[in-house]
């Protein structure tokens, strides 16, 4: 069996981590900077932060088309360069309109760079270790998700905000340097044919993507409201929830990576979805500290099993020249679900409470898992 942790896969892993670290570093600190330093209203801050997600989602289908029709590494490096440049522009932005414009363009670039990075990694990963490789590559994002927000908050509490942005720039530039060093197989771009839906989304992967969408609705709710839910119930150190959840995701990827290459993607995905749904149910019923942090870990296990399994299934539905489109399909469904989860959580909390919101998304995660089971004839 060919080795997985080659020079180029290691470089791809490290480059993705540095890019994601810069992203997650700014997630909790940018709103503080906007309100505290630029005196922007909370309503406008919400618009600015949401614009990033909307822009990334809008770009997803087009990014798959670009990656399958132009040299992949070239697109990855170009998008990485723009990502680093945009990280630098935050240092000089001084108005809400400028920040909004930067966030929109940054979101568009995020929609390309994440899809391109995953597709480039797939070109490097040996085909017989694809599921395992996807799981390990995804760990780079999970580690960044744990370390980035924590580092950003610590820096913002003890240093000027300019240093937070400087760290984001340095991380992005280092990632770009590593990306330039990656040696990936060169594939002939696909000829430009008549534009149709399958140029942007993998038609055979859409049913699986719908199942993923229902599961990631719960993920969106967790990202937006888990800390608030903990504070509402007087739980201390709620920021650790995401660190514990990231650890759960990493453990799941370490334990189940090889199973994905043994035609067990469907089984791993279903097991992960059921575990996530059960964890959400417990979180909604028992809002106490011990359950709160235990659920963080079990949720991480569930998501860490379900997400790479579903991504592998969708990729396996496409041909080699459709890898960009397949990844785009996965991330499009993922982003839509996260966006719905954020909005749905706020609406349910307004008319009921967050406990009810967690119960509702637990049912949705179970529904999504059922769709996954019904739509898969293999893996």
For the CA atoms of 165, 171, 176, 182, what is the dihedral angle to 10 degrees?
A: -160
- What pLDDT is recorded for position 188? 59
Domains assigned to the chain: 1-182 (1.20.1250.20), 201-379 (1.20.1250.20)
What pLDDT, on a 0 to 100 scale, did the predictor assign at position 226? Answer: 84
Residue 173, pLDDT score? 96
Report residue 264: phi and psi, to 5°: -115, 20
Give the global pTM.
Answer: 0.80
What pLDDT shows up at residue 306? Answer: 94
Per-residue confidence (pLDDT) for residue 379, from 0 to 100: 44
What pLDDT is recorded for position 210? 94
What are the tens digits of pLDDT across the range 231-278? 889 988 877 888 899 899 989 988 888 888 888 899 999 999 999 999
Q: How far apart are the first and last CA of the chain?
A: 20
CA dist 245 and 240 (Å) reads 8
**In terms of Cα–Cα distance, which of 133, 88, 128 is closest to 106?**
88
Could you tell me where the DSSP H helices lie in 70-191? 72-89, 96-124, 130-158, 161-181
Query: Residues 6 or more apart from 113 whose CB is under 8 A from it?
Result: 19, 76, 79, 80, 83
pLDDT averaged over consecutive 10-residue blocks of the chain (379 residues)? 90 95 84 80 75 84 81 92 90 84 92 90 88 86 82 82 90 96 75 54 87 93 82 84 89 87 90 96 94 95 94 83 81 86 80 89 96 75
pLDDT computed for residue 193 by the predictor: 53
pLDDT of residue 351: 81
How much is the pLDDT for 142?
Answer: 80
pLDDT for residue 191: 57
* CA dist., res. 223 & res. 333, Å (int): 17
> How high is the pLDDT of residue 201?
75
pLDDT value of residue 190: 56
Work out the burial of residue 20: count CB atoms within 10 Å of its CB; fewer than 13 is exposed, 13-18 middle, 19 or more buried: buried
- Torsion sign (Cα): 23, 87, 43, 155: positive
Pairwise CA distance, residues 162 & 103, whole Å: 17
């Amino acid at each position: 069996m060919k080795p997985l942790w080659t020079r180029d896969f290691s470089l791809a892993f490290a480059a993705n981590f540095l890019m994601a670290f810069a992203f997650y570093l700014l997630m909790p600190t940018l709103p503080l900077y906007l309100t505290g330093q630029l005196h922007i209203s909370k309503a406008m801050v919400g618009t600015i932060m949401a614009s990033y997600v909307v822009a990334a989602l809008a770009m997803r289908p087009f990014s798959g088309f670009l990656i399958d029709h132009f040299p992949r590494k070239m697109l990855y490096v170009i998008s990485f360069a723009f990502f680093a440049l945009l990280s630098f522009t935050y240092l000089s932005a001084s108005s809400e309109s400028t920040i909004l414009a930067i966030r929109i363009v940054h979101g568009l670039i995020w929609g390309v760079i994440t899809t391109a990075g995953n597709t480039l990694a797939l070109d490097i990963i040996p085909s017989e270790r694809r599921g395992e490789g996807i799981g390990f590559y995804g760990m780079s994002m999970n580690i960044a998700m744990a370390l980035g927000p924590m580092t950003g908050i610590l820096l913002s509490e003890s240093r000027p905000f300019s240093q937070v942005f400087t760290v984001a720039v340095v991380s992005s530039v280092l990632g770009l340097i590593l990306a330039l060093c990656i040696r990936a197989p060169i594939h002939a771009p696909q000829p430009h044919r008549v534009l149709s839906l399958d140029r942007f989304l993998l038609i055979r992967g859409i049913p699986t993507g719908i199942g993923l969408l229902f599961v990631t609705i719960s993920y969106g709710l967790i990202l937006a409201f888990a800390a608030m839910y903990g504070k509402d119930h007087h739980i201390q150190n709620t920021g650790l929830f995401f660190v514990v959840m990231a650890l759960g995701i990493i453990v799941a990827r370490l334990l189940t990576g090889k199973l994905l290459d043994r035609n067990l993607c469907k089984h791993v995905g279903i097991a992960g979805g059921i575990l996530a749904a059960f964890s959400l149910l417990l979180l909604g019923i028992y809002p106490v500290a011990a359950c709160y942090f235990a659920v963080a870990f079990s949720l991480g296990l569930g998501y860490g099993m379900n997400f790479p399994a579903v991504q592998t299934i969708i990729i396996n539905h496409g041909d080699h020249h459709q890898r960009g489109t397949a990844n785009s399909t996965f991330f499009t469904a993922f982003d839509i679900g996260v966006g719905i989860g954020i909005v749905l959580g706020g609406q349910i909390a307004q008319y009921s409470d967050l406990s009810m919101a967690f119960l509702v998304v637990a049912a949705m995660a179970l529904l999504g898992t059922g769709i996954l089971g019904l739509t898969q004839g293999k893996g």
